[in-house]
Copies of this chain bind each other. A is one copy, B any other.
Amino acid sequence: MILEEALDEFEIIRMIIDTIGQPKPRFSKIGDDVAYLPKKRGKVVIKSDMLVEKTDVPKGMDLWQVSRKSIVMCVSDFSAKGVVPSAALISLGIPRGMKESEIRELARGFKIAKEEFGIEILGGDTNEADCIIIDCCMVGFADKIVERKGAKPGDLVITSGFFGYSSSGLKIMLDNLKANPEFKESAVSSVVMPNPRLRLGVALAKRNLMSSSIDSSDGLAFSLHEIAMHSKVGIEINNLPTTDDVKNFAEMNHLSLNDLVLYGGEEYEIIATIPKDKLYEAQRLAKRMGERIITIGKVTDDFPKVRLLLDEREIEIERKGWIHLK
Protein backbone atom coordinates (compact mmCIF):
# COMPACT_ATOMS: atom_id res chain seq x y z
CA MET A 1 0.00 0.00 0.00
CA ILE A 2 1.31 3.41 -0.94
CA LEU A 3 0.47 6.21 1.46
CA GLU A 4 -0.64 9.40 -0.16
CA GLU A 5 1.45 12.36 0.90
CA ALA A 6 0.65 16.04 0.83
CA LEU A 7 1.85 17.83 -2.28
CA ASP A 8 3.56 21.19 -2.65
CA GLU A 9 2.41 23.79 -5.16
CA PHE A 10 4.71 22.68 -7.97
CA GLU A 11 3.65 19.08 -7.70
CA ILE A 12 0.05 20.27 -7.73
CA ILE A 13 0.59 22.37 -10.85
CA ARG A 14 2.39 19.49 -12.57
CA MET A 15 -0.45 17.12 -11.77
CA ILE A 16 -3.06 19.53 -13.06
CA ILE A 17 -1.18 20.12 -16.31
CA ASP A 18 -0.76 16.36 -16.74
CA THR A 19 -4.52 15.91 -16.34
CA ILE A 20 -5.91 18.81 -18.34
CA GLY A 21 -3.23 18.89 -21.03
CA GLN A 22 -1.50 21.89 -22.56
CA PRO A 23 -3.48 24.47 -24.60
CA LYS A 24 -3.81 24.36 -28.39
CA PRO A 25 -1.19 25.96 -30.67
CA ARG A 26 -1.34 29.80 -30.82
CA PHE A 27 -2.21 29.85 -27.11
CA SER A 28 0.68 30.09 -24.64
CA LYS A 29 1.82 26.91 -22.93
CA ILE A 30 1.26 26.80 -19.17
CA GLY A 31 4.36 27.83 -17.23
CA ASP A 32 5.51 31.41 -17.86
CA ASP A 33 4.75 34.54 -15.79
CA VAL A 34 1.81 35.49 -17.96
CA ALA A 35 -0.33 33.68 -20.49
CA TYR A 36 -1.56 34.92 -23.86
CA LEU A 37 -4.21 34.05 -26.36
CA PRO A 38 -4.53 34.86 -30.03
CA LYS A 39 -6.34 38.08 -30.79
CA LYS A 40 -9.66 37.90 -32.58
CA ARG A 41 -12.09 40.53 -33.75
CA GLY A 42 -13.85 42.99 -31.48
CA LYS A 43 -13.71 43.56 -27.76
CA VAL A 44 -11.86 41.48 -25.23
CA VAL A 45 -14.43 40.16 -22.78
CA ILE A 46 -13.37 39.10 -19.29
CA LYS A 47 -15.02 37.78 -16.16
CA SER A 48 -13.78 36.40 -12.86
CA ASP A 49 -15.76 34.42 -10.34
CA MET A 50 -14.58 33.02 -7.02
CA LEU A 51 -15.87 29.79 -5.52
CA VAL A 52 -15.26 29.34 -1.77
CA GLU A 53 -15.74 25.78 -0.54
CA LYS A 54 -16.99 26.81 2.88
CA THR A 55 -19.88 28.96 1.64
CA ASP A 56 -20.49 27.83 -1.95
CA VAL A 57 -20.16 24.05 -1.83
CA PRO A 58 -22.85 21.89 -0.19
CA LYS A 59 -21.75 18.62 1.36
CA GLY A 60 -22.28 15.72 -1.00
CA MET A 61 -20.75 17.43 -4.01
CA ASP A 62 -17.83 15.58 -5.57
CA LEU A 63 -14.55 17.45 -5.97
CA TRP A 64 -14.61 17.18 -9.77
CA GLN A 65 -18.08 18.73 -9.69
CA VAL A 66 -16.73 21.58 -7.56
CA SER A 67 -13.96 22.41 -10.02
CA ARG A 68 -16.28 21.98 -13.00
CA LYS A 69 -18.77 24.32 -11.36
CA SER A 70 -16.11 27.00 -10.77
CA ILE A 71 -15.78 27.18 -14.56
CA VAL A 72 -19.54 26.91 -15.16
CA MET A 73 -20.00 30.04 -13.02
CA CYS A 74 -18.01 32.04 -15.59
CA VAL A 75 -19.39 30.22 -18.63
CA SER A 76 -22.91 31.08 -17.50
CA ASP A 77 -22.11 34.79 -17.59
CA PHE A 78 -20.67 34.43 -21.08
CA SER A 79 -23.83 32.53 -22.12
CA ALA A 80 -26.11 35.36 -21.02
CA LYS A 81 -23.94 37.90 -22.82
CA GLY A 82 -23.83 35.78 -25.97
CA VAL A 83 -20.06 35.52 -26.03
CA VAL A 84 -18.00 32.42 -26.80
CA PRO A 85 -15.37 32.02 -24.07
CA SER A 86 -11.90 31.36 -25.37
CA ALA A 87 -9.59 30.73 -22.42
CA ALA A 88 -9.41 30.71 -18.63
CA LEU A 89 -6.92 31.11 -15.82
CA ILE A 90 -7.45 29.25 -12.55
CA SER A 91 -6.26 30.56 -9.18
CA LEU A 92 -6.40 27.78 -6.62
CA GLY A 93 -6.41 28.00 -2.84
CA ILE A 94 -5.68 24.58 -1.39
CA PRO A 95 -5.84 23.49 2.25
CA ARG A 96 -2.57 22.15 3.61
CA GLY A 97 -2.35 18.36 3.42
CA MET A 98 -4.85 17.87 0.62
CA LYS A 99 -4.27 14.46 -0.94
CA GLU A 100 -2.94 13.63 -4.37
CA SER A 101 -6.15 11.81 -5.25
CA GLU A 102 -8.18 14.89 -4.29
CA ILE A 103 -6.07 17.19 -6.44
CA ARG A 104 -6.47 14.72 -9.28
CA GLU A 105 -10.25 14.93 -8.82
CA LEU A 106 -10.12 18.72 -9.02
CA ALA A 107 -7.96 18.55 -12.12
CA ARG A 108 -10.38 16.11 -13.73
CA GLY A 109 -13.25 18.56 -13.21
CA PHE A 110 -11.23 21.28 -14.95
CA LYS A 111 -10.58 18.93 -17.84
CA ILE A 112 -14.25 18.02 -18.12
CA ALA A 113 -15.24 21.70 -18.20
CA LYS A 114 -12.46 22.51 -20.65
CA GLU A 115 -13.78 19.95 -23.10
CA GLU A 116 -17.45 20.59 -22.41
CA PHE A 117 -17.19 24.29 -23.20
CA GLY A 118 -14.25 24.25 -25.63
CA ILE A 119 -12.06 26.59 -23.61
CA GLU A 120 -8.30 26.55 -23.15
CA ILE A 121 -6.92 26.68 -19.62
CA LEU A 122 -3.76 28.78 -19.83
CA GLY A 123 -2.44 28.74 -16.28
CA GLY A 124 -3.16 30.30 -12.94
CA ASP A 125 -1.83 30.39 -9.45
CA THR A 126 -1.64 28.02 -6.48
CA ASN A 127 -1.79 29.02 -2.84
CA GLU A 128 -2.38 27.72 0.63
CA ALA A 129 -5.81 28.50 2.06
CA ASP A 130 -8.15 27.23 4.80
CA CYS A 131 -10.57 25.62 2.38
CA ILE A 132 -10.71 25.07 -1.36
CA ILE A 133 -10.93 28.39 -3.19
CA ILE A 134 -11.15 28.48 -6.96
CA ASP A 135 -11.10 31.77 -8.79
CA CYS A 136 -11.74 31.35 -12.49
CA CYS A 137 -10.92 34.20 -14.83
CA MET A 138 -12.36 33.79 -18.32
CA VAL A 139 -11.56 35.63 -21.54
CA GLY A 140 -13.38 35.76 -24.85
CA PHE A 141 -14.01 38.07 -27.79
CA ALA A 142 -17.09 39.78 -29.16
CA ASP A 143 -18.03 42.72 -31.33
CA LYS A 144 -20.71 43.58 -28.85
CA ILE A 145 -22.20 42.04 -25.73
CA VAL A 146 -25.86 41.86 -24.74
CA GLU A 147 -26.08 44.12 -21.72
CA ARG A 148 -28.38 44.32 -18.70
CA LYS A 149 -29.63 47.56 -20.11
CA GLY A 150 -31.55 47.56 -23.37
CA ALA A 151 -34.98 46.18 -22.40
CA LYS A 152 -37.85 48.25 -23.87
CA PRO A 153 -41.48 48.41 -22.71
CA GLY A 154 -43.45 45.84 -24.73
CA ASP A 155 -40.53 43.39 -24.95
CA LEU A 156 -41.21 39.90 -23.66
CA VAL A 157 -39.32 38.44 -20.72
CA ILE A 158 -38.01 34.92 -21.19
CA THR A 159 -35.96 32.32 -19.37
CA SER A 160 -33.98 29.41 -20.76
CA GLY A 161 -35.22 26.94 -18.19
CA PHE A 162 -37.30 26.17 -15.11
CA PHE A 163 -36.60 27.64 -11.70
CA GLY A 164 -36.90 26.15 -8.23
CA TYR A 165 -34.78 23.08 -8.86
CA SER A 166 -31.52 24.31 -7.40
CA SER A 167 -33.14 25.93 -4.34
CA SER A 168 -35.04 22.67 -3.74
CA GLY A 169 -31.89 20.66 -4.37
CA LEU A 170 -29.97 22.71 -1.83
CA LYS A 171 -32.67 22.15 0.78
CA ILE A 172 -32.63 18.43 0.05
CA MET A 173 -28.84 18.32 0.41
CA LEU A 174 -28.51 20.62 3.42
CA ASP A 175 -31.70 20.02 5.41
CA ASN A 176 -32.48 16.51 4.19
CA LEU A 177 -36.03 17.48 3.12
CA LYS A 178 -38.22 14.76 1.70
CA ALA A 179 -38.71 14.47 -2.04
CA ASN A 180 -39.73 11.77 -4.46
CA PRO A 181 -36.71 10.00 -5.95
CA GLU A 182 -36.89 11.38 -9.50
CA PHE A 183 -37.32 14.95 -8.34
CA LYS A 184 -34.54 14.53 -5.81
CA GLU A 185 -32.22 13.42 -8.55
CA SER A 186 -32.95 16.29 -10.89
CA ALA A 187 -33.00 18.89 -8.09
CA VAL A 188 -29.65 17.75 -6.67
CA SER A 189 -28.23 17.46 -10.17
CA SER A 190 -29.09 21.10 -10.86
CA VAL A 191 -26.92 22.03 -7.85
CA VAL A 192 -23.94 19.78 -8.47
CA MET A 193 -24.00 19.65 -12.28
CA PRO A 194 -25.36 23.02 -13.46
CA ASN A 195 -25.85 23.35 -17.18
CA PRO A 196 -25.24 26.86 -18.55
CA ARG A 197 -26.95 27.58 -21.88
CA LEU A 198 -23.86 28.62 -23.80
CA ARG A 199 -24.87 27.53 -27.30
CA LEU A 200 -28.32 29.06 -26.92
CA GLY A 201 -27.01 32.38 -25.60
CA VAL A 202 -24.44 32.68 -28.36
CA ALA A 203 -26.99 31.80 -31.05
CA LEU A 204 -29.58 34.29 -29.75
CA ALA A 205 -26.96 37.05 -29.53
CA LYS A 206 -25.60 36.31 -33.00
CA ARG A 207 -29.06 36.90 -34.49
CA ASN A 208 -29.50 39.98 -32.33
CA LEU A 209 -32.68 38.59 -30.73
CA MET A 210 -32.16 39.71 -27.13
CA SER A 211 -32.63 43.36 -26.12
CA SER A 212 -31.13 42.71 -22.66
CA SER A 213 -29.91 39.67 -20.80
CA ILE A 214 -28.49 38.48 -17.50
CA ASP A 215 -27.17 35.30 -15.94
CA SER A 216 -29.65 34.11 -13.31
CA SER A 217 -27.15 32.91 -10.72
CA ASP A 218 -28.30 35.48 -8.13
CA GLY A 219 -31.88 34.24 -8.44
CA LEU A 220 -34.82 35.03 -10.70
CA ALA A 221 -36.17 37.95 -8.64
CA PHE A 222 -32.83 39.65 -8.24
CA SER A 223 -31.94 39.23 -11.90
CA LEU A 224 -35.28 40.70 -13.04
CA HIS A 225 -34.62 43.70 -10.80
CA GLU A 226 -31.17 44.11 -12.33
CA ILE A 227 -32.63 44.25 -15.84
CA ALA A 228 -35.34 46.67 -14.66
CA MET A 229 -32.81 48.91 -12.96
CA HIS A 230 -30.20 48.96 -15.72
CA SER A 231 -32.82 49.33 -18.48
CA LYS A 232 -34.94 51.80 -16.50
CA VAL A 233 -38.11 49.78 -17.08
CA GLY A 234 -40.68 47.85 -15.07
CA ILE A 235 -41.33 44.12 -15.38
CA GLU A 236 -44.57 42.18 -15.04
CA ILE A 237 -44.37 38.39 -14.61
CA ASN A 238 -47.51 36.39 -15.36
CA ASN A 239 -46.03 32.91 -15.69
CA LEU A 240 -43.75 31.39 -13.07
CA PRO A 241 -41.16 29.29 -14.94
CA THR A 242 -41.44 26.15 -12.89
CA THR A 243 -42.90 22.63 -12.94
CA ASP A 244 -45.41 20.46 -11.12
CA ASP A 245 -42.48 18.60 -9.58
CA VAL A 246 -41.31 21.76 -7.83
CA LYS A 247 -44.92 22.53 -6.78
CA ASN A 248 -45.31 19.05 -5.29
CA PHE A 249 -42.01 19.40 -3.45
CA ALA A 250 -43.10 22.76 -2.04
CA GLU A 251 -46.44 21.35 -0.87
CA MET A 252 -44.88 18.22 0.55
CA ASN A 253 -42.53 20.30 2.69
CA HIS A 254 -44.84 23.26 3.39
CA LEU A 255 -42.56 25.64 1.54
CA SER A 256 -43.57 28.70 -0.46
CA LEU A 257 -43.44 27.93 -4.17
CA ASN A 258 -42.80 31.58 -4.95
CA ASP A 259 -39.81 31.61 -2.62
CA LEU A 260 -38.31 28.51 -4.24
CA VAL A 261 -38.76 29.89 -7.74
CA LEU A 262 -38.10 33.60 -7.26
CA TYR A 263 -35.60 33.88 -4.47
CA GLY A 264 -33.33 30.88 -4.96
CA GLY A 265 -30.18 31.26 -6.98
CA GLU A 266 -27.45 29.34 -8.78
CA GLU A 267 -29.78 28.32 -11.60
CA TYR A 268 -27.33 29.38 -14.32
CA GLU A 269 -30.13 30.01 -16.79
CA ILE A 270 -30.40 32.96 -19.16
CA ILE A 271 -32.99 35.61 -18.29
CA ALA A 272 -33.53 37.93 -21.22
CA THR A 273 -35.91 40.32 -22.88
CA ILE A 274 -36.89 39.77 -26.51
CA PRO A 275 -38.79 42.16 -28.80
CA LYS A 276 -42.26 40.64 -29.45
CA ASP A 277 -41.72 40.21 -33.17
CA LYS A 278 -38.56 38.20 -32.60
CA LEU A 279 -40.00 35.62 -30.22
CA TYR A 280 -40.94 33.11 -32.90
CA GLU A 281 -37.47 33.14 -34.43
CA ALA A 282 -35.89 32.75 -30.98
CA GLN A 283 -38.14 29.83 -30.12
CA ARG A 284 -37.50 28.04 -33.40
CA LEU A 285 -33.78 28.52 -32.90
CA ALA A 286 -33.93 27.15 -29.35
CA LYS A 287 -35.97 24.17 -30.47
CA ARG A 288 -33.42 23.25 -33.13
CA MET A 289 -30.76 23.14 -30.41
CA GLY A 290 -32.84 21.07 -28.01
CA GLU A 291 -33.17 24.08 -25.72
CA ARG A 292 -36.27 25.91 -24.56
CA ILE A 293 -37.44 29.48 -24.25
CA ILE A 294 -40.13 30.11 -21.67
CA THR A 295 -42.08 33.36 -21.91
CA ILE A 296 -42.72 34.56 -18.37
CA GLY A 297 -43.93 38.13 -18.70
CA LYS A 298 -43.36 41.49 -20.30
CA VAL A 299 -41.44 44.71 -19.92
CA THR A 300 -43.50 47.73 -18.83
CA ASP A 301 -42.79 51.43 -18.49
CA ASP A 302 -43.49 51.30 -14.77
CA PHE A 303 -39.84 51.70 -13.71
CA PRO A 304 -38.60 50.23 -11.37
CA LYS A 305 -41.53 47.98 -10.36
CA VAL A 306 -41.15 44.22 -10.74
CA ARG A 307 -44.49 42.50 -10.17
CA LEU A 308 -45.97 39.04 -10.22
CA LEU A 309 -49.53 38.82 -11.62
CA LEU A 310 -51.07 35.41 -11.01
CA ASP A 311 -54.75 34.47 -10.71
CA GLU A 312 -55.66 38.16 -10.69
CA ARG A 313 -53.50 38.72 -7.60
CA GLU A 314 -50.65 41.15 -7.83
CA ILE A 315 -47.54 40.65 -5.71
CA GLU A 316 -44.45 42.86 -5.53
CA ILE A 317 -41.34 40.83 -6.39
CA GLU A 318 -38.63 41.84 -3.95
CA ARG A 319 -35.09 42.68 -4.94
CA LYS A 320 -33.53 39.82 -3.01
CA GLY A 321 -31.75 36.56 -3.61
CA TRP A 322 -28.72 34.84 -2.27
CA ILE A 323 -26.44 37.58 -1.01
CA HIS A 324 -22.97 36.80 0.31
CA LEU A 325 -22.12 38.20 3.74
CA LYS A 326 -25.77 38.99 4.45
Contact = CB atoms under 8 A, between A and B. Distances in A.
A245 interface: no
Interface stretch (A31-39, A232-240, A251-259): A31-39
Interface in A132-146: 133, 135, 137, 139, 141-142, 145
Contact of A47 (B9, B34, B51, B147): B34
A214 B32 CA distance: 8
Interface in A1-57: 6-10, 12, 28, 31-39, 41-52, 54-56
A308 interface: no
A317 interface: no
A43 B36 contact: yes
A89 B323 contact: no
B45 A89 contact: no
Contact of A325 (B122, B128, B133): B128
A28 B148 CA distance: 12
Given A8-B325, A323-B8, A324-B126, A45 B50 contact: no
B48 A125 contact: yes
A52 B323 contact: no
Interface stretch (A75-83, A154-162, A183-191): A75-83
A288 interface: no
Nearest to A144: B36
Point out which of A9, A38, A41, A215 has the most chain B C-beta atoms below 10 A from its C-beta: A9
A93 interface: yes
A7 B325 contact: yes
B36 A39 contact: no
A127 interface: yes
Interface of A: 6-10, 12, 28, 31-39, 41-52, 54-56, 77-78, 80-81, 83, 87, 89-94, 96, 122-131, 133, 135, 137, 139, 141-142, 145, 147-148, 214-215, 230, 323-326
